[in-house]
Amino acid sequence: MTAAAERCRVQVRVSGIVQGVGFRPYVHALATAHDLGGFVGNDGTGVLAEVEGRLEGVDAFLAALRREPPALAVVESVTTAVVAPRGESTFVIGVSSVTGRRDALVSADTATCDDCLAELADPADRRHRYPFVNCTRCGPRFTIVRAVPYDRATTTMAGFAMCAACAAEYRDPADRRFHAQPTCCPACGPTLRLGDRSGDAALRAAAGLLADGAVLAVKGLGGYHLAARADDEAAVARLRARKHRAEKAFAVMVADVATARGLVVVDDAAAAVLSSRRRPITLLRRRPGAAVAAAVAPGNRDLGVLLPYTGLHHLLAAELGVPFVLTSGNLSDEPIAVDDADAADRLAPLVDAFLTHDRPIHVRTEDSVVRMHRGRELPVRRARGYAPEPVALGFGALRPVLGLGAEVKSTVCLVRGRRAFLSPHLGDLTNPEALRSFRHMTGHLARLFDVEPVVLAHDRHPEYLSTAEALARADAEPDLALVGVQHHHAHVAACLAEHGRGPDDPPVLGVAFDGTGLGDDGTIWGGELLLADLAGYERVGHLACVPLPGGAAAVREPWRMVVAHLPEARGLAVRDRHAERWDAVASMARRGVRSPATSSVGRLFDAVAALLDVRDTVTYEGQAAIELEQRVDPSERRGYPVRVRDGVLEGTDLVQAAADDLRAGVAVGRIAARFHHGLADATVGAVAEAAGERGVGTVALSGGVFVNEVLLERVRTGLEAAGLDVLVPSRVPCNDGGISLGQAAVAAAQDVRRGVVG
């Protein structure tokens, strides 16, 4: 293109998250503003446009396109090519088409925008109090998409024919609903129902029932929730009993940030996360005297709060006027219900009424959960609002890879090129419905992004159901390559992958602390120091192994881990509480009967929690460690000393020191703090020594134990003081929810290292 050309035409291809986010209307408005002709449309790879006009107008258009995309868009690339002018002076939105491989990205579901909220509150607007209000800037996306390109016909809105008014908005380039695929209104869109009531009457009736202490099933974006007043002890107790969820905390929905500040401590960073378009459940410190029933989060000083993210939630919060529990619509450990018939069957014994609607949900998606760490999100569960936005890899995979994850906190991850598509949280695969959801998601991602994996990456544990799935698929499809990835290497690799590391980058010291993972030596690992890059690793340190008395029984009964560390336990209350079984369990551990060796940091936390009578038995994964963290006295800064020999940390030193302090009458909060600090300081010392010996300057922290903010902050601060760079997950969970990404990244990196091409 030259300045001498008075008129020109340029083809523009935009890739990234550019479908379903108002990109075509934005391009239309931008081209019109610069007096350009041409067209814009969706295709299988993103957005394709051609613009024609004077050179200065085309240049200005391209500059603005790169500089100021729509708020929800994520532009990965803009490529241009000069093409022959056609003499067009008007600009139109063309019909979507698919030619060749589909490569378009799909937006995550997005919280209701301010403009839609204004309509929701305006009595003169035709969408006044309409629960399904949305536009190009907000609303359902991933949960309703069946295929790409993203058009109404490929979503679960296909069955709702637009009325004349909605169709006019949809066709009007000046309207923010111009080509907004979920566009609807009370006349033509989904309808809210509660029994024989519909629309606003259903909503008001639901709020009335909640106010009176009822438990409701509420159909949302990605599935059903169970709701009850958060300040009603009896209502929350009924919900807990019906759901068979004895102690695990419930999330609480609040109307706005100001209401949240009445319940929890919210700084500016947390307020930004709470009110972001993603609207995750955010775990924050509960205020003393907060108006929340004790049964909402027993034994926990934190509270998970979230803000409304659909019109329905905004209306319900305003109508009820008090915070309410909003928890997954399921029995404990089951996947969230999405199908109406299934929900009616599974949830009927749990609830007093159903507040539902007739828009189908195509993809089951739970609410996301985050903690705050140094002003940033620390993901605990990645789902609604985040999935399926890809993680950008620091290298290109040579073959498509599917990572099949772990067994609990299951996710799957599909890698193609430089993109890693991580599924939403799928749950515990030992539940049959979760396993079905796992199978559906692997197929859905492959269809949605038009990629068939040729490599299956899986955990090395032979009894994981995700491993069994990999083996079964490989038997059925002999051309599939299988790559077994060690569990803790996958943890470290997930952290490296999200930070853009490639197979040719130098190794890091990976610290992988979790509950369980099969080690190379047949023992149960969980407190590992690995010299690792994406393609491989070497174990250079670990927590000293102790017996796991009774195997899985020790996970359910943390007091058994006190036996493993202190078999005599003279003068300790924990022995008295379990006197009838203590000697038998101690004998089992001593003889190695059903007592595999473990280096698990998670089980070390269990031992101290049981010792301090914080938690002898658990009803959900990680409960003892979570409640032990809650007991930490923040004024205590001292840590127990720990011997470290050749990279091996003697965890029993921590348990013995805690027992000595307990006998001396030291407060539980101080003991809990000294345990956390002692473990952190020993970890820092071991890592710094290993890094110095091997000339390594970077450390990656991963594994579910690092959801613990007290431990994470002390370890990170110590490592930084030692002059090391520290990588911490901020986009992908450090727990098993990130394992599938790590597996896929390892398999892809090994391909690159070997030069394998599919």
Tens of pLDDT along 160-214? 999 999 999 998 878 899 889 999 999 999 999 999 999 999 999 999 999 999 9
- The average pLDDT across 386-405 equals 96
Separation between Cα atoms, residue 364 and residue 224, nearest integer Å: 9
For 110-189, CATH number out of 3.40.630.30, 3.40.50.1000, 3.30.360.10, 3.90.870.30 equals 3.90.870.30
Report the phi/psi class of residue 520: left, alpha or beta, with left for phi > 0 and alpha for psi in -120 to 50. alpha
Which pLDDT belongs to residue 735?
A: 98
Domain with CATH 3.90.870.10 in the chain: 192-358
Q: In this structure, are residues 390 and 498 in contact, taking their beta carbons and an 8 Å threshold?
A: no
Which residues are CB-contacts of 203 (< 8 A; sequence separation ≥ 6)?
A: 129, 131, 192, 194, 312, 315, 316, 319, 355
Which pLDDT belongs to residue 333?
A: 75
Percentage of residues in the chain with pLDDT exceeding 90?
Answer: 89
Cα angle at 576 between 575 and 581, to 5 degrees?
65
pLDDT class of 98 with cuts at 50, 70, 90: low
- The average pLDDT across 567-592 equals 96
- The average pLDDT across 119-148 equals 95
Evaluated on CA atoms 636, 638, 643, 648, the torsion sign reads positive
Which pLDDT belongs to residue 560?
A: 98
Report the phi/psi class of residue 38: left, alpha or beta, with left for phi > 0 and alpha for psi in -120 to 50. left
- The average pLDDT across 600-624 equals 97
Q: Is 11 helix (H, G, I), strand (E, B) or coil?
A: strand
pLDDT class of 95 with cuts at 50, 70, 90: confident
Q: In this structure, are residues 18 and 73 in contact, taking their beta carbons and an 8 Å threshold?
A: yes
Separation between Cα atoms, residue 515 and residue 188, nearest integer Å: 51
Which pLDDT belongs to residue 386?
A: 97
Examine the pLDDT at 485 and tell me if it is beyond 90. yes
Dmax (CA) for the chain in angstroms is 94
Q: Which of 115, 5, 97 is nearest to 44 (CA)?
A: 97
Which pLDDT belongs to residue 704?
A: 98
Sequence length of the chain is: 758
- The average pLDDT across 648-666 equals 98
Q: Measured between alpha carbons, how far is residue 391 from residues 251, 437, 496, 689, 729 in Å? A: 27, 22, 11, 32, 12
Domain with CATH 3.30.70.100 in the chain: 7-93
Domain with CATH 3.90.870.30 in the chain: 110-189
User: How does pLDDT run across 318-371, given as a tens digit for each residue?
Assistant: 999 999 999 999 987 788 999 999 999 999 999 999 999 999 999 999 999 999
Tell me the whole-structure pTM to 2 decimals. 0.94
Return the CATH fold of 524-532+539-727: Nucleotidyltransferase; domain 5 (3.30.420)
Which residues are CB-contacts of 59 (< 8 A; sequence separation ≥ 6)?
A: none
Strand ranges in 34-114 using DSSP code E only, listed in sequence order:
37-43, 46-54, 74-83, 91-93
Classify 192-358 by CATH class: alpha beta
Q: Is 585 helix (H, G, I), strand (E, B) or coil?
A: helix
* Complete DSSP assignment for 239-261: HHHHHT--SSPPEEE-SSHHHHH
Domain with CATH 3.30.420.40 in the chain: 524-532+539-727
Which residues are CB-contacts of 526 (< 8 A; sequence separation ≥ 6)?
A: 488, 513, 514, 515, 516, 517, 543, 598, 599, 600, 601, 602, 603, 703
User: How does pLDDT run across 408-458, given as a tens digit for each residue?
Assistant: 999 999 999 999 999 999 999 999 989 999 999 999 999 988 889 999 999
Q: In this structure, are residues 352 and 213 in contact, taking their beta carbons and an 8 Å threshold?
A: no
Return the CATH fold of 7-93: Alpha-Beta Plaits (3.30.70)
Examine the pLDDT at 5 and tell me if it is beyond 60. no
Separation between Cα atoms, residue 158 and residue 758, nearest integer Å: 37
Which residues are CB-contacts of 113 (< 8 A; sequence separation ≥ 6)?
A: 135, 137, 138
Which residues are CB-contacts of 309 (< 8 A; sequence separation ≥ 6)?
A: 109, 111, 112, 221, 279, 384, 385
- The average pLDDT across 73-79 equals 90
Separation between Cα atoms, residue 634 and residue 618, nearest integer Å: 25
pLDDT class of 101 with cuts at 50, 70, 90: low
Which pLDDT belongs to residue 4?
A: 42
pLDDT class of 2 with cuts at 50, 70, 90: very low
Instruction: Between 172 and 134, name the one with better pLDDT.
Output: 134
Which pLDDT belongs to residue 334?
A: 84
Tokens 């790590």 appear where? Answer: 742
Q: Measured between alpha carbons, how far is residue 365 from residues 132, 143, 362, 498, 709 in Å? A: 18, 7, 9, 22, 26
Which pLDDT belongs to residue 3?
A: 44
User: How does pLDDT run across 668-719, given as a tens digit for each residue?
Assistant: 999 999 999 999 999 999 999 999 999 999 999 999 999 999 999 999 999 9
Q: Measured between alpha carbons, how far is residue 419 from residues 16, 227, 397, 534, 732 in Å? A: 10, 37, 9, 16, 14
- What is the residue-averaged pLDDT of the chain? 95
Q: Is 217 helix (H, G, I), strand (E, B) or coil?
A: strand
User: How does pLDDT run across 727-753, given as a tens digit for each residue?
Assistant: 999 999 999 999 999 999 999 999 999
Give the number of other Cβ atoms within 10 Å of residue 668's Cβ: 18
Q: Measured between alpha carbons, how far is residue 63 from residues 114, 414, 758 in Å? A: 28, 33, 38
Which pLDDT belongs to residue 42?
A: 84
Separation between Cα atoms, residue 111 and residue 51, nearest integer Å: 32
Separation between Cα atoms, residue 18 and residue 76, nearest integer Å: 9
Q: Measured between alpha carbons, how far is residue 397 from residues 453, 735, 751 in Å? A: 11, 24, 8
Which pLDDT belongs to residue 680?
A: 98
Tokens 């431990």 appear where? Answer: 711
User: How does pLDDT run across 534-562, given as a tens digit for each residue?
Assistant: 999 999 999 999 999 999 999 999 999 99
Percentage of residues in the chain with pLDDT exceeding 70?
Answer: 98
pLDDT class of 94 with cuts at 50, 70, 90: confident
Indicate the CATH number for domain 379-485+735-749. 3.30.420.360
Lowest mean pLDDT segment, chosen from 99-103, 465-469, 699-703, 751-755: 99-103
Tokens 């009924």 appear where? Answer: 238
